[in-house]
Chains A and B, each alone.
Chain A
C-alpha cells in the first residue's frame, strides 16, 4: 500500500481529488462562519454608531493587556499551525516537526483560554456583566458588554473545538493511527484554526481599543 492510498477515504478514488474536495468543503464552511461572525460584528457596528460615547466608555473598561497578549498568542499559534500544515505537505520525514508544531499550537490555544479565564474573572469582579448592579452609568454600555460576552464566548467555543481537533491529530499521529504526511485532515484542521485566529484579529480593535484616545 502506497502512502497516497493509505490516506484515501471512501468515496474518493484518488487522494488529490479527496484533498481538493476537503479544501473546498472547509472553505464553504468558513464562508458560512464569515457570515455568522459578520452578523454579530454588524450588530456591534450598528449599536456603536447609535451610542458612540457609551461604547467608548465601555471599551475603556476592558483590559487591553489581556487582549493584546491573547492576540499575540493566537497569532503565534497560527505560525506553528502553518508550519505544521506546510511541513506535512511539502517535507518528507517531517513527522517530529509536525507533531512538535501541532503540540505548540494546542498549548498556545490552551494558554489563550487560561488568559481569557483570568480576564473573565476580572470582568465579573468589576461588575461588567449586563444586568442589575452593572458598573457603568450609560445604559448602552450594557449593549457593549452583552455583545462582548456573546462574541468572545462563541469565539472561545470555536477555539475549544479547534484545540480538540488538533489534539486528536497529535494523538492519532503519535500512535501512527493516521499518516500526517500529506494528510488532508491536517490541512482542513489548519484552515479552521486560522479562521478562528482571523475572527479574533477583528475582535481585538472592536473590543479592546475603543475609547483609549479620549
Chain B
C-alpha cells in the first residue's frame, strides 16, 4: 500500500516537473517578447513578437495538448485547421502585399 502511494507520488511529481518546465519556458518567452517590443529593429520587432507567439503556441499544442503522443488522426485534424488558415492568409496577403496602386 505504501509502496503504491510512493509510486503515485513519484508519478505526480514527475507530472508537475514536466509541465512546469514547459510553463517556465512559456513565461520566459512572454517576458522576452515584451522586452524585444521596446527595441527598435523595424519590421524585425513585429516579426519577433509573432515568431515568439508561434513558438509559445507550439509548446502548448505539443506538450499541454499532448499532440506529441496523439494518434495520426488527431494530428491530421489539428493540422487541417492550420493548413486552411495558412491558405486563407497566403491567398489574401498575395493580393494585399503586391498592390502597386489604387484602382
Contacts and interface: CB of A to CB of B under 8 A. Distances in A.
B40 A79 contact: no
Given A49-B97, A93-B8, A31 B34 contact: no
What is the interface residue range for chain B against chain A? Answer: 35 or more
Nearest to A59: B37
Interface in B22-50: 22-23, 26-27, 30, 33-34, 37-41, 45-46, 49-50
B15 interface: yes
Interface string B74-103: 100110111011001100110011000000
Contacts of B92: 42, 46
Contacts of B85: 34-35, 38
A79 B23 contact: yes
Contact of B12 (A31, A72, A75, A97): A97
Given A38-B85, A42-B92, A202 B11 contact: no
B60 A212 contact: no
A56 B98 CA distance: 22
A31 B78 contact: yes
Give the residue among B20, B45, B50, B81 with the most A Cβ atoms within 10 A.
B81
Interface stretch (A140-148, A156-164, A176-184, A193-201): A193-201
Interface of A: 20, 23-24, 27-28, 30-35, 38-39, 42, 45-46, 49-50, 64, 68, 71-72, 75-76, 78-79, 81-83, 86-87, 90-94, 97, 190-191, 194-195, 197-198, 201-202, 204-206, 208-210, 212-214
